[in-house]
């Protein structure tokens, strides 16, 4: 089903904050609204990839994309928005 809402999360070396954020978004799996969580990782060098992998196993709404190397904030934001498929994005 095509998502109505895309929650876009650009991130870089924020494993702890991302873990907290994704924990808070987990209940949305049962909200009944077609949505997705789109994560764009800007080539993080901390535990961010592991956090994304762990949450992706538990939350079917997550779609993650990772740059092999850091490209800067603007390209990371744009990547999250381009990968989103929802009618509305935030």
Contact criterion met (CB below 8 Å) for 32 and 61: no
Contact criterion met (CB below 8 Å) for 43 and 11: no
d(CA 64, CA 80): 9
CA distances from 9 to 24, 28, 61 (A): 13, 15, 13
Helix residue ranges per DSSP H, the chain = 15-25, 48-58, 73-83
- The pLDDT of residue 21 is 98
* Nearest one of 8, 12, 18 to 73, comparing CA atoms: 12
- The pLDDT of residue 48 is 98
- The pLDDT of residue 86 is 97
pLDDT along the chain (90 residues), means of 10: 94 98 97 95 98 98 97 97 96
Single pTM value for the model: 0.95
d(CA 1, CA 73): 30
């Amino acid at each position: 089903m095509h998502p109505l809402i895309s929650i876009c999360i650009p991130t870089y070396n924020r494993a702890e904050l991302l873990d907290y954020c994704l924990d808070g978004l987990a209940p949305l799996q049962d909200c009944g609204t077609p949505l997705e969580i789109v994560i764009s990782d800007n080539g993080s060098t901390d535990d961010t990839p592991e956090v994304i992998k762990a949450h992706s196993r538990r939350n079917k709404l997550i779609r993650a994309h990772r740059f092999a190397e850091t490209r800067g904030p603007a390209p990371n934001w744009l990547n999250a928005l381009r990968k989103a498929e929802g009618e509305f994005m935030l």
